[in-house]
Structure 1
Amino acid sequence: MDTTASADLEIIDYAPHYQDDLRRLNHEWITRYFELEPADHETLGDPQTHILDPGGFILLARYQGAIVGSGALLHASDGSWKLAKMAVTDQVQGRGIGFALCQAILNRARTMGVARVELVSNRILLPALHVYRKLGFVEIPLGTVMYKRGDIRMAIDL
């Protein structure tokens, strides 16, 4: 990340008044490449129930005063931890914001004692895959995924 971005970037905790930002950021990228699916509407419509209550958390990136990025760590019903709802608005992509956000999520996961984090993405999202690989994620077998757009699964052992 360049020094300008880091001086103007804050990674903050989600609060309910940011729900519209979380929804906007994720709708923006999903509809650019894919279509919104029922699970998107469910999770983004009630992040308290689907992300926070099961023990997960959401972080947001605030750049020059605006909420420009989101990311979450979900505690799935099978006991696994999933990196999800990663989004950075187009206007500020390429400034290291996604990397900083993802790194902050992994750091918090480590402090929580999480041993492994998985994610599902799509192979056309090259910048995102680059960030994940740079942070240490490696491809693992895809298995069953809940989103039609998911065609690659990655994991990192913390």
Structure 2
Amino acid sequence: MNNQTTAAADIDIIDYAPQYQPDFRRLNEEWITRYFELEPADHITLGDPQTHILDPGGFILLARAQGSIVGTGALLYNPDGNWKLAKMAVTDQMQGRGIGYTLCKAILDRARTMGVKRVELVSNRTLLPALHVYGKLGFREIPLGTVMYKRGDIKMAVDL
């Protein structure tokens, strides 16, 4: 893959299938362990996305460049009735090319077609590129409340 010329225009957004579970895990473990540490909830979700994301009604999208999976993101349905953007990741060497924005926009577009009215996310204030993408897509900070991850220190939401 020629990383110098691959841009968001060269990316295919595809639906998750079980054969992509190792990519889903790899991409998320890559970014989490670079900045933070894997937590018990990460191991649960990354180890069994079928049970914890897909079965409750959510979905996972993947970004593919020249046959390689280079990004991922998910929309989860929480028992509290809220939809949550989660597990957003773009591999290090492909960051800065608009892939995260393209992936996140595709997730929000799919959520709209499902009738989802609001999407929330939890992130960390040190992840400035991610927060910039979320802001461009209309997410605004809301009160943090109780969060599942130690690394979560900002909560955002967008009304669709």
Q: State the Cα deviation string for residues 63-97 of structure 1 (Å, max 9, x = none).
A: 12210000000000111000000000010100000
Aligned to 1:134: 136
- Count of residues paired in the alignment: 156
Task: Tell me if 1:96 matches 2:98.
Answer: yes
Task: Tell me if 1:9 matches 2:11.
Answer: yes
What does 1:92-131 align with in structure 2 at a 5 Å threshold?
92-131=94-133
| Runs of 4+ off more than 6 Å | none
**Which TM-score applies when normalising by structure 1?**
0.97
Identity across the alignment (%): 83
What does 1:4-153 align with in structure 2 at a 5 Å threshold?
5-153=7-155
Letter aligned with residue 96 of structure 1:
G
User: What are structure 2's unaligned runs of at least 5 residues?
Assistant: none
Q: Output the aligned Cα RMSD.
A: 1.0
Letter aligned with residue 67 of structure 1:
I
Q: Distance in 2 between matches of 1:90 and 1:4?
A: 13
Give the C-alpha shift of residue 4 in structure 1: 5.3
**Which TM-score applies when normalising by structure 2?**
0.96
